[in-house]
C-alpha cells in the first residue's frame, strides 16, 4: 500500500497543458487554437521564417495576414508558430505578427530544431523553419502544415553534405506538409531520393505526378504518388495517423498557372546566384535567404509575387484537406479497412488483478504528533483504494473498459468499494471475511507518518480463482498486476501470460511485496514495472543484481539500477517523487510505448517533475499515472505522449479528495497531443 502515497508525497505535478517540463519554455497556445485542438476542429499550422527571413517588410506582414485569412475563409483556424521572447507561440495575434515582421527593430533567429534551446534559453525571438514548426506541430497535435517550399538537399550536396534538417524532421514526425515542392535553388531529384530514404510519403496534388519546382509548376522529376482531391489527401493522412506510422507526408502543390515562372529562366538565375554565393563564401543557414534574395532581384520581384501566390494557394489547399480530415475523424470513418482493424484491436480489454482496499485517512491538524496517549485534533476521510482498484477505476474514467479481478468482504467496506466501480462482475464477494483496509496517518504537511493495514483477505486471491478467469486473461490486451495476490497466484497469472503471449505490467505496491513475482519461474512475462526507488532496489536484489557501487544521488542511483535491471525487464519506469521519473527501454521516445520487440540498444530518459504549492490528496497519484500510461499505450501512442497522459492523470488525482477523481479526461484533452519533454541520459 505504500505506493498510494510515495510517488507524489512531495509537491509534484504533471505537465501543464501549455508547458514543456521545467527545463524548457512555456507553450503559449492562442485561445482559438487551443479550443480547436480540444474539439478536434480543423487547424492549419504555418511557419514563421517566411516572415522573419523569407520576405522583405512590408510584404512579409501583408503575406502573413492574407495567408491566415485564406485559411479562415475555408472555416479553419490558422496557427502561425514562432518564438517571442523565449516563449513558444502556437498561434499569433496581429500585433505579434507585426512584431516579427519588423526586422529592423526585432531581430529574429532562423530557428530549426538545433536552435530551439539557444533561442528559448536566451529569451530571443525566433522564426521557425519547416523543421522547427514540425517539432511544435508534433508536440501540440496539429496534423496539417502549409508552407511555401521545404528545404532539401542543396546542389552539390554530395560534396558539401548540406542537407536541410527539414527532411530529417519530416521523416520522424507524423505531420502532413502542403508545399510547392522543394525550393528551386535545391537539388530536387536528390531531395526526393533522400525523402524516400527517410520513409516520407510524397505525392503531387492535382492532375500530374510531376513534382513542382517552387516558382515553376514542373521540375521534370516525378513523385511516387498523385492525389487529386482534398478528400483523398485527408484519407491518406487519417490512415497515417490510425496506423501510428510516425513519419511525415509531403504533398507537392503546383503554383497556380498564372503565377508560374519559366523554369529555364529561373534555372539560369539560380546558377549565377550559386556562383556568387561560392565567391562570397556564403554557407549554412545563410545560403537560402541569399539565393532567394538574388532570385527576387534578378526577376524584378516577380519571384516574390509568385512566392506570395503559391503560399496562399498552399494554405487554401491545406485548409480544404483539414476540413475533410476533421469530418473523417468525427465520423470515425473514411478508411474502412484501417478503422475496422483498429476497432478489432480495441475489443481486447486490459485485465487488472490485485487488491481492493478501503483507505481510512487521518490528517493530524497539529504541528507535532506525540505518541504518548494524548488525543490529537484531526480530520478523518475514507475512500475506496488499493493499487489495482485505483488503476482499474482510473482506466475506466479515461477511455478504456478494464476487467478487474479482486476480492472483497460481504460488509459495508466491500459495498463502498463495489459501488465505486463501473464494472464489478469479476470481483468475488466473500462471506466471513473483512474487506482489506488501510489506515494512513498524515501530519499537517501531508507527510505519511503511520500506516496500518489489514490485508488478510488477499490470501483468498487463490490460484483456483485465477483459473476461473483464464478466458478473460487469454483475451486481455495487457495484464496489470499489483503485489497483493499470493505468490502462487501471481505465478499462475504469469504462466498464463507466457502461454498466451500477453505482456504484463507490474506495479509493486510496496517494497515488502515487490519481489514476489520475481521469485516465480515465469517472471520473464513481466515487460513493464513501475517501482519507486526503494522498490527498485528490492527487485534488483531479488534478480541478483549487485548494488554495492550505487551512487548516493537519487537520480543517479535510479539510472544506475535501471541500467542493470534492464537486462531482465524491458521497460523499467522508476518514480522519483518531485524529481519525476526515469524510464529505461529499448526504443526511442518517439516510438510506441507498447512494443512487442526491442528496437534499439538500451536508452534511458529522465522526465522531470514540476512543483506546486498546494495539493489536496496524495493517495492515488501514482496509480493514476500508471492508468494514464496504460490507456495511452494501448492506443499505440509514443512514449512521449503516454508520459504526458500519465502525468496529467496524476495531477488531477493530486487535486482530488479521493485517490481517483470522480472525473478524469478523454482523448479530447491536450495531454493526448502534447509530447512530454525529457532529458536523454543514455
User: Tell me, what CATH number does 162's domain have?
Assistant: 3.40.1790.10
Query: What pLDDT, on a 0 to 100 scale, did the predictor assign at position 237?
Result: 95
CB 247 within 8 A of CB 172: yes
CB 575 within 8 A of CB 623: no
pLDDT at residue 178 is higher than 70: yes
Query: What pLDDT, on a 0 to 100 scale, did the predictor assign at position 609?
Result: 83
DSSP annotation string for 116-136: HHHHHHTT-EEEE-HHHHHHH
Query: What pLDDT, on a 0 to 100 scale, did the predictor assign at position 266?
Result: 81
CB contact burial 451-460 (16+ within 10 A = b; e otherwise): eebeeebbeb
Band of the pLDDT at 298, cuts 50, 70, 90? Answer: confident
Picking from 27, 76, 82, the residue whose alpha carbon sits closest to that of residue 54 is 82
Query: What pLDDT, on a 0 to 100 scale, did the predictor assign at position 46?
Result: 97
Based on its alpha-carbon atoms, the radius of gyration of the chain, rounded to whole angstroms, reads 28
Residue 595 in any domain: the answer is: no
The residue-averaged pLDDT of 161-167 equals 86
For the annotated catalytic residues, the residue numbers are 47, 183
CB 59 within 8 A of CB 49: no
pLDDT at residue 1 is higher than 50: no
Query: What pLDDT, on a 0 to 100 scale, did the predictor assign at position 346?
Result: 42
Beta-bridged to residue 330, according to DSSP, are none
The residue-averaged pLDDT of 230-258 equals 92
**Residue of 674 and 79 predicted with greater confidence:** 79
pTM (two decimals): 0.57
In terms of Cβ atoms closer than 10 Å to its own Cβ (0-12, 13-18, 19+), residue 628 is buried
Residue 292 in any domain: the answer is: yes
Model pLDDT for residues 556-599, shown as the tens digit of each residue:
999 999 999 999 999 999 999 878 999 999 999 989 999 988 99
Question: What DSSP state is assigned to residue 91?
Answer: S
C-alpha to C-alpha distances, 25 to 28, 34, 46, 121, nearest whole angstrom: 9, 18, 20, 8
In terms of Cβ atoms closer than 10 Å to its own Cβ (0-12, 13-18, 19+), residue 311 is buried
| Whole-number percent of the chain with pLDDT over 70 | 92
Residue 135 in any domain: the answer is: yes
Residue 413 in any domain: the answer is: no
Query: What pLDDT, on a 0 to 100 scale, did the predictor assign at position 261?
Result: 87
CA distance 288 to 149: 11
Which residues 6+ apart lie within 8 Å of 323 measured at CB? 42, 74, 75, 76, 230
Residue 337 in any domain: the answer is: no
Terminal CA-CA length for the chain: 32
CA distance 335 to 322: 16
Owning domain of residue 204: 27-331
Length of the chain: 682
Q: Output the CA angle 650-653-657, nearest 5 degrees.
A: 165
CB 545 within 8 A of CB 522: no
Beta-bridged to residue 450, according to DSSP, are 441
Residue 74 in any domain: the answer is: yes
Model pLDDT for residues 119-145, shown as the tens digit of each residue:
999 999 999 999 999 999 998 999 999
pLDDT at residue 412 is higher than 90: yes
Report the range out of 13-22, 247-256, 344-353 with the highest average pLDDT: 247-256
Band of the pLDDT at 612, cuts 50, 70, 90? Answer: low
Residue 580 in any domain: the answer is: no
CA distance 493 to 504: 9
Band of the pLDDT at 347, cuts 50, 70, 90? Answer: low
pLDDT at residue 160 is higher than 90: no
CA atoms within 13 A on the CB side of 93: 7
Model pLDDT for residues 470-501, shown as the tens digit of each residue:
999 999 999 999 999 999 999 999 999 999 99
C-alpha to C-alpha distances, 485 to 394, 481, 489, 508, 626, nearest whole angstrom: 20, 9, 6, 11, 19
Residue 257 in any domain: the answer is: yes
The x, y and z cell numbers of residue 270, run together, are 539560380
The residue-averaged pLDDT of 552-557 equals 93
Number of domains comprising the chain: 1
**Residue of 7 and 362 predicted with greater confidence:** 362
CA distance 386 to 416: 13
pLDDT at residue 343 is higher than 70: no
Average predicted confidence (pLDDT) for the chain: 87
pLDDT at residue 11 is higher than 50: no
CA distance 461 to 353: 9
The residue-averaged pLDDT of 603-614 equals 81
The residue-averaged pLDDT of 628-634 equals 95
The x, y and z cell numbers of residue 655, run together, are 487535486
Question: What DSSP state is assigned to residue 22?
Answer: T
The x, y and z cell numbers of residue 680, run together, are 536523454
The x, y and z cell numbers of residue 423, run together, are 464494472
**Where on the phi/psi map is residue 76: left (φ > 0), alpha (ψ -120 to 50), or beta?**
beta
Amino acid at each position: 500500500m505504500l505506493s498510494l502515497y510515495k510517488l507524489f508525497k512531495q509537491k509534484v505535478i504533471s505537465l501543464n497543458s501549455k508547458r514543456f517540463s521545467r527545463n524548457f519554455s512555456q507553450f503559449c497556445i492562442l485561445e482559438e487554437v487551443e479550443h480547436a485542438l480540444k474539439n478536434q476542429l480543423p487547424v492549419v499550422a504555418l511557419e514563421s521564417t517566411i516572415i522573419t527571413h523569407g520576405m522583405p517588410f512590408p510584404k512579409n506582414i501583408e503575406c502573413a495576414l492574407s495567408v491566415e485569412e485564406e485559411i479562415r475563409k475555408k472555416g479553419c483556424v490558422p496557427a502561425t508558430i514562432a518564438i517571442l521572447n523565449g516563449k513558444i507561440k502556437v498561434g499569433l495575434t496581429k500585433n505579434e505578427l507585426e512584431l516579427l515582421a519588423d526586422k529592423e527593430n526585432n531581430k529574429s533567429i532562423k530557428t530549426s530544431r538545433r536552435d530551439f534551446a539557444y533561442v528559448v534559453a536566451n529569451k530571443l525571438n525566433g522564426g521557425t523553419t519547416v523543421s522547427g514548426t514540425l517539432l511544435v506541430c508534433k508536440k501540440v497535435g496539429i496534423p496539417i502544415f502549409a508552407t511555401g517550399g521545404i528545404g532539401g538537399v542543396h546542389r552539390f550536396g554530395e560534396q558539401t553534405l548540406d542537407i536541410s534538417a527539414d527532411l530529417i524532421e519530416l521523416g520522424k514526425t507524423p505531420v502532413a506538409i502542403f508545399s510547392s515542392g522543394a525550393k528551386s535553388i535545391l537539388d530536387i531529384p536528390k531531395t526526393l531520393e533522400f525523402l524516400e530514404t527517410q520513409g516520407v510519403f510524397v505525392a503531387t496534388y492535382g492532375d500530374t505526378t510531376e513534382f513542382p519546382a517552387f516558382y515553376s509548376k514542373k521540375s521534370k522529376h516525378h513523385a511516387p504518388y498523385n492525389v487529386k482531391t482534398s478528400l483523398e489527401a485527408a484519407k491518406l493522412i487519417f490512415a497515417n495517423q490510425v496506423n501510428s506510422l510516425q513519419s511525415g507526408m509531403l504533398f507537392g502543390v503546383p503554383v497556380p498557372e498564372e503565377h508560374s515562372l519559366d523554369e529555364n529562366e529561373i534555372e539560369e538565375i539560380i546558377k549565377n546566384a550559386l556562383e556568387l554565393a561560392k565567391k562570397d563564401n556564403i554557407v549554412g543557414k545563410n545560403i537560402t535567404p541569399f539565393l532567394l534574395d538574388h532570385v527576387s532581384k534578378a526577376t524584378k520581384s516577380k519571384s516574390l509575387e509568385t512566392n506570395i501566390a503559391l503560399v496562399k494557394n498552399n494554405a487554401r489547399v491545406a485548409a480544404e484537406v483539414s476540413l475533410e480530415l476533421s469530418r473523417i475523424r468525427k465520423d470515425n470513418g473514411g478508411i474502412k479497412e484501417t478503422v475496422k482493424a483498429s476497432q478489432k484491436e480495441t475489443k481486447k480489454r486490459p485485465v487488472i488483478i490485485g487488491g481492493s482496499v478501503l483507505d481510512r485517512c487521518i490528517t493530524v491538524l497539529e504541528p507535532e504528533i506525540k505518541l504518548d496517549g494524548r488525543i490529537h485534533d484531526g480530520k478523518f476521510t475514507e475512500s475506496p483504494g488499493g493499487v489495482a482498484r485505483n488503476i482499474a477505476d482510473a482506466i475506466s474514467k479515461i477511455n478504456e473498459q478494464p476487467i478487474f479481478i479482486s476480492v472483497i468482504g460481504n460488509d459495508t467496506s466491500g459495498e463502498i468499494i463495489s459501488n465505486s466501480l463501473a464494472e464489478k462482475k469479476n470481483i468475488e464477494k466473500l462471506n466471513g471475511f473483512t474487506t482489506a483496509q488501510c489506515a494512513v496517518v498524515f501530519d499537517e504537511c501531508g507527510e505519511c507518518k503511520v500506516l496500518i493495514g489489514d490485508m488478510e483477505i488477499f490470501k483468498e486471491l487463490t490460484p483456483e480463482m485465477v483459473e476461473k478467469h483464464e478466458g478473460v486473461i487469454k483475451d486481455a490486451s495487457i495484464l496489470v498486476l499489483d503485489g497483493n495476490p499470493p505468490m502462487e497466484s501471481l505465478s499462475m497469472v504469469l504462466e498464463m501470460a507466457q502461454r498466451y503471449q500477453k505482456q504484463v505490467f507490474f506495479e509493486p505496491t510496496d517494497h515488502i511485496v515487490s519481489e514476489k513475482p520475481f521469485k516465480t519461474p515465469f517472471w520473464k512475462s513481466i515487460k513493464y514495472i513501475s517501482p519507486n526507488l526503494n522498490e527498485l532496489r528490492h527487485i534488483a536484489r531479488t534478480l541478483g543484481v549487485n548494488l554495492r557501487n550505487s551512487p548516493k544521488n537519487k537520480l543517479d542511483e535510479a539510472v544506475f539500477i535501471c541500467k542493470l535491471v534492464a537486462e531482465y525487464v524491458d521497460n523499467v519506469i522508476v518514480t522519483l517523487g518531485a524529481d519525476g521519473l526515469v524510464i529505461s527501454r529499448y526504443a526511442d521516445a518517439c516510438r510506441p510505448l507498447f512494443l512487442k520487440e526491442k528496437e534499439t540498444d538500451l536508452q534511458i530518459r529522465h522526465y522531470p517533475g514540476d512543483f506546486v504549492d498546494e495539493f489536496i490528496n496524495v493517495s492515488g497519484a501514482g496509480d493514476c499515472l500508471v492508468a494514464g500510461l496504460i490507456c495511452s499505450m494501448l492506443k499505440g501512442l509514443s512514449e512521449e505522449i503516454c508520459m504526458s497522459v500519465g502525468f496529467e492523470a496524476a495531477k488531477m488525482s493530486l487535486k482530488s479528495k479521493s485517490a481517483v477523481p470522480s472525473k478524469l479526461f478523454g482523448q479530447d484533452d491536450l495531454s493526448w497531443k502534447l509530447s512530454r519533454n525529457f532529458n536523454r541520459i543514455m
